[in-house]
Amino acid sequence: MERPIGVIDSGVGGLTVVKEMIQHLPNESVLYLGDDERCPYGSRTTEEVHQFTMEMVQKLATMDIKLLVIACNTATAIALESVVAAYNFPVIGVIVPGARASVNSSTSHKIAVLGTTRTIQSEAYTNEIKKVAADALIYPLDCPEFVPLVESGQYQSESVKEIVHERLRHLEHADFDTAILGCTHYPLLEHHIESGLPNHVKIISSAMETVKDVERVLSERRLFAVKEAVAEHIFLTTGNSKTFKTIVEEWLALKNPNVQHIQLP
Ligand code: DGL
């Protein structure tokens, strides 16, 4: 088997990045780790997010990954630099690609950023967006209710629509043309987010842009799997493997995926 690409998230959110990866890099195998047991990270302290992220990376580092994607905005905001400094394999976060995509999409450079409390408080998006567009006007909004709705598998239910719309009402007086889903769980709620924002607003998820970075780094480092390689994906979760498996089957349309429960230290 080819060496896999490691992907981590606090839970199932990183699957939104894996979905794009499977579509655009079909020969690549993914080794996914979701820390569902300790999710959500977004309402935890900076120290906890840092420690939990390092524990996840440590686990995947023992499993011969060739590249790591931190498919979690919260973990990227807090721990990307430490992970890059500690390991030899290439590491890609989701915030720089997401910030770049939002600036490319926005004509007014007025951009709403939806994210977890920890991500919004870190101001990582504001800083990255301003590096690309110094004139940008950012409207940050933390949405602490969203991740638990996704983790519990309720993201398709109509009843969550009101909760999502209620939160988005905080942006009702803001004038922006682009909204970035600054949490990888949010694309699973995208239909509700879309209907809760004005029609002209473009919604950006960092998933596709992140996969472009993965492709570039694989090419630069000559790490692509061989063309004949048959991808074998493995999904590890610290939480309930049954719930996780259902979401993998629904979201990635994979039949009988290899989902295993693991414990972190
Ligand atoms: N999916 C994660 C993110 O992108 C984390 C959500 C959470 O655990 O609060 O921020």
Per-residue model confidence as pLDDT tens for the chain (265 residues):
799 999 999 999 999 999 999 999 999 999 999 999 999 999 999 999 999 999 999 999 999 999 999 999 999 999 999 999 999 999 999 999 999 999 999 999 999 999 999 999 999 999 999 999 999 999 999 999 999 999 988 888 888 999 999 999 999 999 999 999 999 999 999 999 999 999 999 999 999 999 999 999 999 999 999 999 999 999 999 999 999 999 999 999 999 999 999 999 8
Nearest to 149 by CA among 180, 189, 203: 189
Residue pair 168/196 in contact (Cβ under 8 Å)? The answer is yes
pLDDT for the residue 42: 97
Residues 6+ apart with CB under 8 A from 146: 114, 164, 167, 183, 185, 186, 189
Q: Starting at the edge strand that comes first in sequence, how are the strands of the sheet with 234-237 ordered?
A: 91-93, 67-70, 5-9, 30-34, 234-237, 258-261
100-124 tens-digit pLDDT:
999 999 999 999 999 999 999 999 9
With a CB cutoff of 8 Å and minimum separation 6, the contacts of 174 are 110, 112, 139
Say what the pLDDT of residue 1 is.
75
> What is the per-residue pLDDT for 265?
84
Tell me if the bond preceding 40 is cis, omega within 30° of 0.
Answer: yes
The predicted pLDDT at position 129 comes to 98
Distance in angstroms (rounded) separating the CA atoms of residues 120 and 135: 19
Active site annotation includes 72:
yes
Please tell me the predicted confidence (pLDDT) of residue 7.
Answer: 98
Taking the C-alpha atoms of residue 124 and residue 188, their distance in angstroms, rounded to an integer, is 22
Considering the candidates 8, 72, 129, 248, report the single residue annotated as catalytic: 72
| Catalytic residue list contains 183 | yes
Q: Token digits for 29?
A: 């195998």
Q: Which residues line ligand 1 (CB under 6 A)?
A: 9-11, 13, 39-42, 72-74, 116, 119, 147, 183-185
- What pLDDT was estimated at residue 157? 84
Strands 30-34 and 5-9, sheet pairing: parallel
Compute, in angstroms, the gap from residue 70 CA to the centroid of ligand 1: 11
The rounded distance, in Å, linking the Cα atoms of 245 and 240 is: 9
Minimal CA–CA distance to 97: which of 22, 4, 180, 197? 180
Among 80, 90, 10, CA closest to 44:
10
Pick the residue whose CA is nearest to atom 2 on ligand 1. Answer: 72
Structure-block tokens of residue 231: 């991808």
Under DSSP, is residue 72 helix (H, G, I), strand (E, B) or coil?
coil
The active-site residue, picked from 15, 183, 189, 204, is: 183
DSSP letter assigned to residue 203: E
Distance 39 CA to ligand 1 centre (A): 8
Q: How far apart (Å, rounded) are the C-alpha atoms in residues 27 and 146?
A: 33
